[in-house]
Structure 1
Amino acid sequence: MLRKLEYEEILAERLSEESALVAKRHPVVGVLEDIRSLYNVGSCFRTADALLLERLVLTGYTPLPPRKEISKTALGAERSVPWEGIADPAEAVEKLRGEGYTIWGLELVEGAASLDQLTEIPPRVALLAGNEIRGVRSETLALCDQALSIPMYGVKHSLNVAVSFGIAMWELVRRVREESA
């Protein structure tokens, strides 16, 4: 019979905020460009915490912590996930490239690699997610090494940006862990 874990049991298995800040992280960075909803930003922080991403880079007009709306969905993850704000998306991309990251844009474009058909993952990857309506800016997308898309099987052609970010990041981290094992 299945037994639901008690809250205390779940907490005992988790990192503390302090230990999360010094833990070895996966070599995956999330870049959020022009995300307008503070709740979506908070959700991406929570995903970044759950997956132990190296950090988040908030760029364009993406709102920065501290904001109560971010905290509401992040549940405090903005304190356990390293992050930085870089106003200019091109500067953010070039900084990451200079640190040795391959830059992928999460976007519906011709020639995008499908998340379920990736053959290899770069040793260090930064995934860029864009605005809820317009997606990644064209000029920023032009700076990316590759575009990545999530297969859709229903009527709608897209998902909420925080949901897309979560799906794509989970798969990238899964693959990084698999390839490093």
Structure 2
Amino acid sequence: MEHQPADDQPGPTEWQPRSIPAVGVGPWADEHDDAPPADPRYDAQLLADGDTRNVVDSYRYWTRDAIVADIDARRHPFHVAIENFAHDANIGTVVRTANAFAAAAVHIVGRRRWNRRGAMVTDRYQHLMHHDSVAELIGWARSEGLAVVAVDNTPGAQRLETADLPRECVLLFGQEGPGVSEDAHAHADLTVSIAQFGSTRSINAGVAAGIAMHAWVRRHADLDVAW
């Protein structure tokens, strides 16, 4: 997982915008009649001040490390990779969606820096890895026994809607516009396309990633443990 700040408190971007009603909970003393829990998963400052972070209610007042550990215990065995050779603005959305579906990790291929705004601070709870090149990502996937599934509307691609997605895999996405690189296509074990019916050549890369992740969830996830 990438290095994160040492403190466990939310940064300014994790609090709700002033223009909409705040969500979350106030101080424990204002919300409950009993004493604050002594459970080490709970954060003393959040118990005292309240918790308006972008987390589900079951994680209210928990420390960041406790949340990550809980998700780690039930993460799914699929990974998500997105090429970042031109500062793709969709990466934040991909990270946020990967967090929602409890992906094992998100892999950034190419440039290390990316715009985190769209992640809505979910990158604090999502494992992230970086690879300088597609070849490095493919080599890592092979060493882990993971199939590489390129998602792109190209000739010869199987329909995502009917393809049998591997359970342990890396879903690989290209940049907005050019799509998956030739190197990625050449080394992918499987290429799938998303059925489209309108005039546009392609859909937004962040949207495509969400569709593909949900297709994996429909095929392999235990829905009884979903929120």
TM-score by length of 2: 0.67
- Asked if residue 137 in structure 1 is aligned to residue 153 in structure 2, the reply is no
**3-state secondary structure, aligned to 1:36:** coil
Aligned to 1:155: 199
- Asked if residue 51 in structure 1 is aligned to residue 101 in structure 2, the reply is yes
Q: Displacement of 1:14 after TM fit?
A: 4.8
Distance 1:140 1:73, change over 3 A: same
Aligned to 1:3: none
How many percent identity over aligned positions? 25
Aligned to 1:63: 113
Greater CA drift, 142-151 or 130-139: 130-139
- Asked if residue 13 in structure 1 is aligned to residue 58 in structure 2, the reply is yes
- Is the contact made by 2:90 and 2:205 (CA closer than 8 Å) also made in structure 1? yes
Aligned to 2:123: 78
Instruction: Give structure 2 stretches of 5+ with no counterpart.
Output: 1-21, 26-54
* Runs (4+) off by over 3 Å: 6-11, 13-17, 35-39
Trace 1:60-139 onto structure 2 (pairs within 5 A): 60-61=110-111, 63-64=113-114, 69-70=115-116, 72-118=117-163, 120-139=164-183
Q: Displacement of 1:171 after TM fit?
A: 1.3
Separation of aligned partners in 2, 1:85 and 1:73? 18
Greater CA drift, 34-43 or 24-33: 34-43
2:86 paired residue among 7, 11, 36: 36
Distance 1:19 1:52, change over 3 A: farther
Q: Which amino acid aligns with 2:149?
A: W
Distance 1:38 1:154, change over 3 A: closer
Render the CA deviation track for 1:6-29: whole Å, top value 9, x for unaligned.
Answer: 933883235854344222201110
**3-state secondary structure, aligned to 1:8:** coil
Q: Which has the higher helix share?
A: 1
Instruction: Give structure 1 stretches of 5+ with no counterpart.
Output: 1-5
Q: Displacement of 1:61 after TM fit?
A: 2.8
**3-state secondary structure, aligned to 2:108:** strand
Q: Which amino acid aligns with 2:165?
A: I
- Asked if residue 165 in structure 1 is aligned to residue 209 in structure 2, the reply is yes
Report the number of matched residues: 170
TM-score by length of 1: 0.83
**3-state secondary structure, aligned to 1:108:** coil
**3-state secondary structure, aligned to 1:32:** strand
Q: Displacement of 1:147 after TM fit?
A: 0.3
